[in-house]
Amino acid sequence: MNILKNLLFQLDRRIIYVAIALAVTIPLVFHFAVPLNPSPIVQSLFDAIEALPPESKVILSFDYGPSTLPENDPMAFAFARHLLTRNHRIYMMALWATGERNLDYTIEQVIEKEFPGKVYGVDYVKLGYKAGDEGLINTLFKNFKGMYTTDGHGTNINDIPMMKEITTLEDFDMILNVGSGRPGTKEWIQYAGDRGNIPIGGAVTAVEALLLYPYYPRQLKGLLGGLQGAAEYETALISKYPQFGITGRQAQVYMGPQAVAHCVILLLVILGNVSYFVGKRRK
């Protein structure tokens, strides 16, 4: 009885902290993944990529920094898996200086590990970071190789087979942006998508996603909002390509702790209200 009373009326903040720590740790340790059914806005981006003919040219832009890795990395991974499975060509670049590290990480973790048969320069290329923010998009729109005279490793751009047919942004079949702010999806829409009628797909943090809903579906083929969006995209990918059933669940694994932690917080709110009303009646 005493324990119950303590739980109700004098819930020490440290008990709350322990509950949250466990709610995050346990699902993480046991890889408790939450499969989510793709919402229409996610599914439509997946379908758009599916609909591209093989060997389409797709830009994957890494426009996020270290503080949003848990949200953004799984999105980039899922895009890379999907594009390479469909035999598209990936052109990887970054509008953010801090994005280049994430670009390398995707090559290292996904492309080199899971797609050892794919050839650099033929199936994918690292163009890297260039300064200029949205101004860079503007310049690329007119003259792509004027900005990227070499790839990210310093190789002359004309020596790279998959760059042969590229002169402007309009030569690409789709632009995918993984981002967490400005410049990001909105700038890609304004400076490239709207002007050249190039399909744009976005994958952004939850906070950013709220601002992008108005662009869907006219200017934006689809949108992955936060971890939830990423997890939904993984579900779509795995249900079509079951080979990713083990490796392709980064966001789903992160969604497990999220879902449990949210439930714990909801329970705490209910508990707080119960104790408040019981306490009031006693008085």
Partner 1 sequence: MTMWDMIVLWIGGAMTLMIFSFLYKDNPFYKFAEHLFVGVSAAFWMVKAIQTTMIPNMWAAIWPKSVTAILHAAQHTEPNYVRLIPLGLGLLLLSRLIPRIAWLSRWAMAVLIGFTSGTYLVRYLQSDFIAQIRSTIIPLVVVTPQGLDVTQSLLNCILVFGVLCALMYFFFSLEHRGVVGGISHAGIWVLMVAFGASFGYTVMARISLLIGRIDYLGQWLQSFGNIL
Partner 2 sequence: MKKRIPLIIIFCVGTLFVLAIFLPFPPFPAMEGEVSVWFDILKGFAFVLGGGNLIRVTADKIRKGHPDRFYLWVTLVGFFGMLGVGLLQLGGPIASGGDFTTEGLWFRRIYDGIFAPCMAAIFSTLAFFVSSAAYRAFRAKNREATVLLVAAFVILLGRTPLGNSLTAWLPDFLSFLKIPWLFEKILMYPNTAGQRAILIGIALGIISNSLRLILGVERSYLGGERS
Asked if residue 262 binds partner 2 (CB under 8 A), the reply is yes
Q: How many CB atoms lie within 10 A of CB 66?
A: 10
> Closer to partner 2 at the Cβ: 66 or 146?
66
Asked if residue 227 binds partner 1 (CB under 8 A), the reply is yes
List strands edge to edge, sheet with 200-204. 124-129, 89-94, 57-63, 174-179, 200-204, 222-225
Site string for partner 1, 159-188 (x = CB under 8 A): ------------------------------
Identity (one letter) of the amino acid at 63? D
Query: Cβ 262 to partner 2, closest distance in Å?
Result: 5
> Which range touches partner 2 (CB under 8 A), out of 1-9, 147-155, 163-171, 257-265?
257-265
Quick one: tokens of 17? 């902290």
Quick one: tokens of 194? 């709207």
Site string for partner 1, 26-45 (x = CB under 8 A): --xx----------------
Asked if residue 132 binds partner 1 (CB under 8 A), the reply is no
Question: What is the per-residue DSSP string for 4-47?
Answer: HHHHHH---HHHHHHHHHHHHHHHHHTT-----PPPHHHHHHHH
Rounded distance between C-alpha atoms, residue 103 and residue 76, angstroms: 8
| Residue 216 · residue 222 · CB < 8 Å | yes
Quick one: tokens of 215? 């662009």
36 binds, among partner 1, partner 2, none (CB under 5 to 8 A by kind): partner 2
70 binds, among partner 1, partner 2, none (CB under 5 to 8 A by kind): partner 1
Please count the residues of this chain forming the interface with partner 2, following the rule CB under 8 A.
29
Which residues contact partner 2 by CB under 8 A? 11, 13, 16-17, 19-21, 24, 34, 36, 67, 210, 213, 228, 258-259, 261-266, 268-269, 271-273, 276-277
